[in-house]
A and B are shown apart, each in its own frame.
Chain A
Amino acid sequence: MKAPLPHPALAQRMQIKDCWALIRRLLFEARNTLVDFQWKLGMAVSSDTCRSLKYPYVAVMLKVADHSGQVKTKCFEMTIPQFQNFYRQFKEIAAVIETV
Chain B
Amino acid sequence: MAAGELEGGKPLSGLLNALAQDTFHGYPGITEELLRSQLYPEVAPEEFRPFLAKMRGILKSIASADMDFNQLEAFLTAQTKKQGGITSDQAAVISKFWKSHKTKIRESLMNQSRWNSGLRGLSWRVDGKSQSRHSAQIHTPVAIIELELGKYGQESEFLCLEFDEVKVNQILKTLSEVEESISTLISQPN
Contact = CB atoms under 8 A, between A and B. Distances in A.
Contact of A77 (B66, B118, B125, B144): B118
Contact of A87 (B63, B117, B179): B179
A32 B146 CA distance: 10
A26 interface: yes
Contacts of B165: 94, 97-98
Interface string A24-55: 01100111111001010101100101111111
Interface of A, secondary structure class, is: mixed
Interface residues of A, number: 54
Interface string A41-79: 101100101111111111100101000000000111111
Given A10-B123, A39-B174, A55 B110 contact: yes
A86 to B, nearest CB: 6
A7 interface: yes
Nearest to B168: A94
Given A86-B119, A96-B126, A100-B129, A52 B65 contact: yes
A94 B178 contact: no
Interface string A76-88: 1111101111110
A77 B171 contact: no
Contact of B141 (A32, A86, A97): A97
Interface of B: 63-66, 109-110, 112-114, 116-119, 122-129, 141-147, 149, 158-163, 165, 167-169, 171-172, 174-176, 178-179, 181-182, 185-186
